[in-house]
Structure 1
Amino acid sequence: MKIKFAILGYGHIGKRHAELVSRHPDAELVATIDIVSSTNLRASEFKVPHFTSIDDFLKSDIGVDVVNICTPNGFHASQAIKCLEQGKHVVIEKPIALNKADAEKILEAANKNSRFAFPVVQNRYSSTVKWLKEIVSDGRLGEIFMVQLNCFWNRDEHYYTKGGWHGTLALDGGPLYTQFSHFIDVLNWIFGDVKNINARFSNFNHQHNTEFEDSGVVTFDFLKGGMGSINYSTSIYQSNFESSITVVGQNGTVKIGGQYMNSLEYCLIKGAERPILKDNQMMNDYGAYKGSASNHHLVVDNVIKSINGFEEQHVSLSDGLKVVDIIDRIYTHRDARITKKPLRKEQLTT
């Protein structure tokens, strides 16, 4: 059965969703929805109706199976619940919500209405990430001693446009939600939940355009044993530097890295040869900046096959909820007073 999609939120990532849906032989794009007019968005290229509110769309007689939610983070939960309550499946861009309570409400609505809700965490499809999941699950590294996650990206003045949603607590939420939740998902998927969280935050060069930190250092223990850390920043000079995981285990050490966790940089495992993995250089390119791995076509394919009963849902809504839960717990250590650096003397006089 051909699955009918509507795209809610027609910004950078919404356009990507629309493009991939329109290409899939078992999918049909039936509408785009955004508060900005179709003409200004150039959404008319797909020759489908455009609505300027989700309520107007849901009141229309257009048949739709799935609504892809690609709006600012702070709208994800309420819009997902509204669509689920109307009997629609939903695809929710990361993060599914900006706090655990709202994420749980999405799960409740999905269960109540017997609908699918698909979190978008496309980095799981990368060959390097799938390989790391396999060797950890198979016990090839033995006991896991330490895991270090590094996420060092650039987000500049152009990204934090004045009057936009990026940089706000209410709609953005912070780097762990907007930039790095994909990698928190990878950490949780492979190594499990965490405890004993400690964190430090600072805002080095985004004091005038964000309401939260641009950098942080987080330490914790895994429930299954071993300790871990997350080091992240969006204040990297000029361009993204790396997203990496280093794993120190009883029987070996491995590191997957590159700008988007797309390369096997180090591998020494007892009794094993270094594998040959596809180095996936594809990432979401938004012109002024770049995002995570560009595997959204695999997400769309799984949505279609899951609804048609051909395969299981690859990423559960509970997985998306756990990512929000972990970030929520990390951010309980965040104090707004220490994320804004005081102005220097020369800045006060200009």
Structure 2
Amino acid sequence: MPIKIAIIGAGLIGPRHAKSVINNPDTELIALVDPMPTGIQTASDLGTNYYPSVSALLSSPHRPDAAIVCTPNQTHVPITKELLSGNVHVLLEKPISNTIETGHSLLSLASSPEYAHLKLLVGHHRRFNPYVRATKSILENGSLGRTIAVNGLWTLYKPDSYFAGNGDWRTSSARGGGVIPINLVHDIDLMHHFFGPITRVHAEGILPQRENPTHDADEGAALTLRFASGVVGSFVVCDATPSSHNFEMGTGENPMIPKVENGSDFYRIFGSAGSLSVPDLTRWSYDNSGEKSWSSPLTVDQIEIPDNAAPFDLQLAHFVDVVRGDAVPSCSGEEGLRALIVCEAVQRAMRTGQPVEIDVDLLAGSKK
């Protein structure tokens, strides 16, 4: 039988998840939940049932087997707890929470004996992007040698409309807004996915560009990173500059953001045997030279993408496997919280001007 799935939140991401659910033969879109009046029309457009709250959904004839939570960051934990308490599996959009404390409380609940049979997957969907999977494969096959360093960019321009109306929470750091928890958290998760846990960060905030006094959310920073593996990195993140150096424009993943053809890279990975730029997947080495030397010509390899399946679709298929017990979560609640911990450390480094150490065992109190 198809898994009955409810979408919680009808904002930017909810309808995209809903379409994946509709298109997957193993899932059925059973309901859409959103407190705003516009949610009724969105549910109608999607051909599904509408409820104004999770409690109304859980007491209805359309109880789901699983739910995808796509609500503002500060609501992630209470909504997910309510769903788990209602015996519903959860795919929770990143970040796992807007605070480390509430994130820990969610993991504590999810790992308790009465809820241990339920599955919690954090929606860091980029792990399923074909460019990411290809990069992970290259790192694992050893063709770059030992990884030495990484340089990353996430830079683009968000218009005023992004912060208006139902999105006004994005203007406030206190309500979970800002480029660090909304956008950088994706890249932090991928850095963990590629290189293991980050143990130290330093960050310098950019000069604010949005002078509206009601807008206090962070707009960007320049970071330095140290990983437990010994890899070092640098990263620039900014949502207030016209730029093509970002994941969305490089991969074409988000249909709302135009892809840059023959586009700009956003990651550069440097190893002892070669280097790699992403997403063009160009590998540079001295494989065909007699001597590994700066005076020898470099060998250039263009690595092909094996497929171009939509990450949201692949993530949903994985969620189905997780719910059915055929797979473990690609990004567990613990890994979701680890990315949030690093983002909080970045914000603390921006405030204090000092490097922040991150204990790799910080999650030891949370059961997997």
- Shorter-chain TM-score category? 0.7 to 0.9
Residue matched to 1:220: 225
The code of the aligned residue for 1:149 comes to G
Question: Structure 2: where are the runs of 5+ without partners?
Answer: 248-265, 288-298, 354-368
Match for 1:263 among 272, 277, 280? 280
**Corresponding position: 1:117 with 2:133:** no
- 1:274 alignment partner, SS class: strand
* CA offset digits 1:56-101 (Å, max 9, x no partner): 2223242311111011111111211121122111111111112222
Residue matched to 1:341: none
TM-score by length of 1: 0.83
Residue matched to 2:318: 302
- 1:166 alignment partner, SS class: helix
Write out aligned runs for 1:146-295 (5 A). 146-161=149-164, 164-208=168-212, 210-237=215-242, 240-243=244-247, 244-256=266-278, 262-264=279-281, 266-271=282-287, 274-278=301-305, 294-295=310-311
1 CA distance for matches of 2:323 and 2:231? 38
Contact 1:126–1:280, Cα closer than 8 Å, also in 2: no
The code of the aligned residue for 1:124 comes to R
Residue matched to 1:31: 31
- 2:169 alignment partner, SS class: coil
Give the RMSD, CA atoms, in angstroms. Answer: 2.4
Deviation at 1:281, TM superposition (A): 8.2
- 1:333 alignment partner, SS class: helix
1 CA distance for matches of 2:37 and 2:162? 22
Q: Which moved more, 1:36-45 or 1:206-215?
A: 36-45
**Corresponding position: 1:92 with 2:92:** yes
Contact 1:217–1:229, Cα closer than 8 Å, also in 2: yes
Deviation at 1:188, TM superposition (A): 0.8
Contact 1:202–1:214, Cα closer than 8 Å, also in 2: yes
Contact 2:152–2:236, Cα closer than 8 Å, also in 1: yes
- 2:160 alignment partner, SS class: coil
2 CA distance for matches of 1:197 and 1:179? 17
- 2:174 alignment partner, SS class: coil
Deviation at 1:279, TM superposition (A): 8.9
Contact 1:77–1:96, Cα closer than 8 Å, also in 2: yes
Residue matched to 1:316: 332
Contact 1:75–1:171, Cα closer than 8 Å, also in 2: no
* CA offset digits 1:222-244 (Å, max 9, x no partner): 1111311111110112x654341
TM-score by length of 2: 0.80
- 1:313 alignment partner, SS class: coil
The code of the aligned residue for 1:277 comes to E
2 CA distance for matches of 1:311 and 1:12? 28
Q: Name the count of aligned residue pairs.
A: 319
1 CA distance for matches of 2:276 and 2:331? 25
Question: Structure 1: where are the runs of 5+ without partners?
Answer: 257-261, 283-293, 338-350
Contact 1:127–1:278, Cα closer than 8 Å, also in 2: yes
Q: Identity across aligned pairs (percent)?
A: 23
- 1:159 alignment partner, SS class: helix
Q: Which moved more, 1:98-107 or 1:10-19?
A: 98-107
Contact 1:9–1:71, Cα closer than 8 Å, also in 2: yes
Q: 1:270 to 1:127 in 2, by over 3 A?
A: farther
The code of the aligned residue for 1:45 comes to D
